[in-house]
Structure 1
Amino acid sequence: MTTHTPQREYFFDSIRAWLMLLGVPFHLSLIYSSHGWAVNSATPSLWLTVFNDFIHAFRMQVFFVISGYFSLMLYLRYAPSHWLKMRLERVGIPMLAAIPLITLPQFFLLRAFSPKAGDWDHFTLYQKYNALGWDLISHLWFLLVLVLFTLLGYLLFRRLKQWGQNTDHSESSWTKLTLIFLTWAGMWALFRRAILLTHPALLGDGLFHFTVMQTLLYLPFFLIGALAFIRPDLKTLFLTPRPATFIGALLAFIAYLLNQRYSLGSGWLYELDAIISTLMGLWMVNVVFAFGHRFLNAHSPRITWLVNASLFIYLVHHPLTLLYGFFITPHIASNTLGFLLGLVMVFGCAFALYQLHLRVALLRFLFSGKPQRAKG
């Protein structure tokens, strides 16, 4: 175990919490966007479609960079076996608890009220398995990917530390990082296209999508986040505002919007999406980290509360959003008003549920993965 504990970096906590909480406006705006979802408003909203695309284009990439940073930080603080046990509990227990408590009831909600859920009674055995794979993992997919990243970290972090410390630190640059991430995204795109040409049904398999495709897509963000903890030059690169990355992120987002509108049918929509969102996600690391370091790097009890509450709020907001979409959205003519009212109602209900769950020790454990100390 290491004896040195670095000073708390509050801006990382703040960014992580806000990225988690962005899941609420993301899914609420999805109702009012032109993207087909489990529930949609009668007419789509252009600004909410663009807003939804913006969140989707960078949020999880930046989140996994922070996850990699904290994962290696904790790995160096504890014995590897203890780190593995602790991380699997913190990530795996909330994921497993959320399946019967959140996504399973949500599955029955979708079957009852969403025409896009399909005709379950006429599904084949595989179709039922696959539907459960998509719907039970649902918005928990990032926890599943974090479990896989934890297992990979257990195998790779020691070598990653040695490689990072033995590499010439003067080599870090945005040009080099961009080329590396562009190459990775291009390889991912070719891999997906090869599967599409040889085994297209595999891309519709929910478990394969989450465990293989999503894991491979976000792996470089997790690893670069881990490297940033042991490479001061890399961390400085992320925290120093660079106009080129800001402009690059803007241009990438414009390309993302164009791809969503024109690469349809038999086009390369998903492959181009991966390449564009990978580059935008990388450049948005600089935008988000520089902004967070400048404006959010201070201790605040309210931010601490949000950090502690963010995972629970993310887990429960999805069914709350669906309930809002099914029962309230049809009665509000204005998309903008419906979106704003949805934010108030979903956040309000999620905050209330969070406070209620704190009163039950078993629920606190299930949704945090942390052993609960007895009160003396």
Structure 2
Amino acid sequence: MRTDVSGREHHWDSMRALLMLLGIPYHVAMAYRANDVWIVNAGEGDLIFTWIAGIIHLFRMPAFFVIAGYFAALLLMRRAPGAWMKNRLIRLGLPFVAALLTLNPLLNLFCELSNFSLWGALGSLEKNSLQSGGYWVRHLWFIIVLLYLCGAAALLCHLAPRAAQAMLPARIDDWLGRHMAAAVIGLGVVIGAWQAGAIELFYAWGFATNLPQQILRIDQLIQFAPWFALGWLVCRAPQFRATLHKPSASLALIALAATLLYLQIGRDVHPMTERFIGTIAAITMTQALIAAMKRLADRPSPAVQALVSGAFVVYLVHLPITAGLVVLGQHIAMPVVVKAGMITALTMVLSWGCWRIVQASPTLRLLYDGVGPELPRLTPPPARMTATATAP
């Protein structure tokens, strides 16, 4: 499917919204995994949700950070690093603080109510709020990591202005484009080795404590920095990017095999091996998703644009809603698959309703979406710098 005449590649927007919205079925599945404990206790589960959660977990956040790196590289070609970073701080920082102070306490209360009576829940809420940084951060961790990576990208372009415009050398880009499958696997091996070694060292050296791990999220910065860098590479390598848009049977088979292997033995092997297998699954699944979205969603669509506009707020509000519905579901007798499906659908409806309320209020829009009358949403420029304009 061809990009519209404006040159904008709509599939990247669609893919980003999809990955944000997948947080809803992912977190519902986490609550209903078989024989697993999560932040909210459903008291029941099924193996199908263990598999659903595992599959979504493999590719969702790696692919999200690839897109984040892609857009960072694209926007920094057209905008001053300082102005761009200021926009990022407002667009991400304000919603982070607002959600931290208003949504996450509600989320934590529901999590406690899934295990205790009201007074016991309030006591546990007070205790954990005072002791655990991760208790406050919860699902907002990705904003912390994204701000780190955006700051690093802006600093690079400030200190080395040529980096803002630099493209991958044509000879290397051409080789990557002609050997896309091998390049994806090679990059997966490099990232997988980094994941297996660096994250393991972080834990082995005793950094998994309240400040570096639970609050600052340094382990997840280590984990997702390579994916952000991969997105930057994809933006600056037009020949490689063009071939990523094409389905690959070999990579699809590797993705299937690696995913099944991860789900089958992931918990029974050393964490380094688990991370390496998971990385191979993630990068091949990401390529398949890019190709699929290019084919299916690279066109202007009012419905898709509405989802793109609301996806961030929906993500912020959905987890407290999910947790509250799971607690209510403890008292309803019905097949767990049916219950989880209903909670997924109802979470989406209620989250979308919250977005419409936020959308209608300039104050709420600023607080929860980082967009105000003087703070427009920073969108990528028409894609003279995107794959369509630089296809082989």
* TM norm structure 1: 0.87
Residue 214 of structure 1 pairs with residue 215 of structure 2 = no
Is the 2:113–2:327 Cα contact (8 Å) retained in structure 1?
A: no
Number of aligned residues:
359
2:189 paired residue among 179, 182, 196: 182
AA aligned to 1:277 is: G
The answer for the alignment partner of 1:168 in structure 2 is: 172
- Measured on the aligned residues, the alpha-carbon RMSD in Å equals 2.6
Unmatched tracts of structure 1, length 5 or more: none
The answer for the alignment partner of 2:389 in structure 1 is: none
Residue 231 of structure 1 pairs with residue 229 of structure 2 = no
Is the 1:259–1:272 Cα contact (8 Å) retained in structure 2?
A: no
**1: distance between equivalents of 2:188 and 2:210?**
26
**2: distance between equivalents of 1:225 and 1:83?**
17
1:203 paired residue among 208, 212, 232: 208
AA aligned to 1:174 is: A
Say which is worse superposed, 343-352 or 30-39, in terms of deviation.
30-39
Q: What is the deviation of 1:40?
A: 3.6
Query: 1:271-320, CA deviations, whole angstroms, 9 ceiling, x for partnerless residues?
Result: 33321222112111211011111111111111111000101111000000
The answer for the alignment partner of 1:72 in structure 2 is: 73
1:113-124 alignment to 2 at 5 Å? 113-114=114-115, 120=124
1:184-333 alignment to 2 at 5 Å? 184-199=191-206, 202-205=207-210, 207-208=212-213, 211-263=217-269, 268-269=270-271, 271-333=272-334
AA aligned to 1:178 is: I
AA aligned to 2:70 is: Y
**2: distance between equivalents of 1:206 and 1:259?**
32
Is the 2:67–2:231 Cα contact (8 Å) retained in structure 1?
A: yes
**2: distance between equivalents of 1:32 and 1:121?**
22
Is the 1:165–1:230 Cα contact (8 Å) retained in structure 2?
A: no
Residue 20 of structure 1 pairs with residue 26 of structure 2 = no
Query: 1:82-101, CA deviations, whole angstroms, 9 ceiling, x for partnerless residues?
Result: 11111221122211221112
Q: Secondary structure at the match of 1:76?
A: coil
AA aligned to 2:256 is: L
Query: 1:133-163, CA deviations, whole angstroms, 9 ceiling, x for partnerless residues?
Result: 1121110111111101111111235537536
Say which is worse superposed, 69-78 or 176-185, in terms of deviation.
176-185
AA aligned to 1:336 is: V
* TM norm structure 2: 0.84
**1: distance between equivalents of 2:91 and 2:306?**
18
Is the 2:166–2:236 Cα contact (8 Å) retained in structure 1?
A: no
Residue 32 of structure 1 pairs with residue 9 of structure 2 = no
Unmatched tracts of structure 2, length 5 or more: 376-392
Q: Calculate percent identity across the aligned residue pairs.
A: 25
Describe the shift of the 1:31–1:53 C-alpha distance in structure 2 as closer, same or farther (beyond 3 A): same
The answer for the alignment partner of 1:8 in structure 2 is: 8
Describe the shift of the 1:239–1:122 C-alpha distance in structure 2 as closer, same or farther (beyond 3 A): closer
Describe the shift of the 1:361–1:128 C-alpha distance in structure 2 as closer, same or farther (beyond 3 A): closer
Is the 1:357–1:363 Cα contact (8 Å) retained in structure 2?
A: yes
Is the 2:167–2:236 Cα contact (8 Å) retained in structure 1?
A: no
The answer for the alignment partner of 1:136 in structure 2 is: 136
Is the 1:134–1:206 Cα contact (8 Å) retained in structure 2?
A: no
